[in-house]
Structure 1
Amino acid sequence: MVEEVKKIVLEDLTANPAPLGLLGFGLTTVLLNIHNAGFYPMNSMILAMGVAYGGIAQIMACWMEYKKGNTFGMVAFGSYGLFWWSFVLLLILPKLGLAAAPDPAALASYLFMWGLFTLVMFIGTLKHSRGLQVVFISLAGLFFLLTAAELTGNPTLTLVAGYEGIFTGLSAVYVGLATVINETYKRDVLLV
């Protein structure tokens, strides 16, 4: 008796969560860094974006990447989504009288660790698109510039970091939107 072996192929019909995560990260990063560049003060618009689009949208993308089996996407979107929540908490907990505000050394440590994490994650992007590499290396640079600004108290470094952060955020927005456009047209319309 000969047994017949059948091969079943399942097609993944779920949406690509990367654009949602990239746009949540990118738009929020741009708005925060317009503040760092000195165009407006820290305000509820930045905090709301940090909780909602920077935080919740990236955490949603994290979960969808998990379901797709993409460890890199899951770790990146989950980590940066929770970064935004922790950043907002750093700002509002002292205002609510629930914790002391971090001193410059503590905030520099926080920013440095995020820079180090991002630099290591950059190594993972070497197996991904050039656009994603730009996002991660510029983000690592942003964290290290902000670390230096906190340690030195130099407002010029914060200003430079602001402009560099605007570039970082816009690069993430570009990669996210280019991915949407390329997938919509089912061909490479924009370079990623």
Structure 2
Amino acid sequence: MAGAAAECESVEVWAEDGVEDEWFELEKEFRFEAMHVLLHHDGKCARPHGHSYGLRVALCSHTLVQNGPKVNMLMDFSDISAVCKKMLDAYLDHHNLNETLQTDSPTAEFIAKWVFHYLEPKLPLLHSVTVSETHTSRATYRRRRSSSGQALSAAVPRYGNGHVASEQDASRHRPKVLEQGPAHSRTCETCGCSCRI
């Protein structure tokens, strides 16, 4: 028993020391059915069609929760599921992605980035999002990490104008597309800030 306690203590010291080349990565996978059309594509994807998509959400951190009911977890899988299920039901599962994502080319790459930006305020430890159209075709979007393991953008999610995003704040923001293009500029219909969703 003393050996087990010593082993736990060494893990806590390791986590507190912030070993920079090792971290925990937590992944949760989801499935959803959706249709899309790539309007500018020069092949068969220019016709409306559907996919049985796969979605993998990955979180990472150098440390785990140190006390309470979630001790030794990076995050509870059920908490990740709750956040992702709301998004899937509202925007992705059994939807026309051209309409819900407001683009004429909802590629796997675009969807991965869109999901990342949607989830980032709700999952601050988010590391990457992978979207699969088939078993052999997938796209991943990730943010470069600082040595601390946090996203370089900021530990606290912010909107484009520096407006701090809280859960309550995010629920008030209803972005609308201002123009289509690589940046997909958006503005909030509520307060006019540049929401990044």
How high is the TM-score relative to the length of structure 1? Answer: 0.29
Length-normalised TM-score, structure 2: 0.29
Structure showing the higher strand proportion among its residues: 2
Determine which structure has greater relative contact order: mean sequence separation of CA pairs < 8 Å that are 6+ residues apart, divided by chain length: 1
Q: Whose helix fraction is larger, Structure 1's or Structure 2's?
A: 1
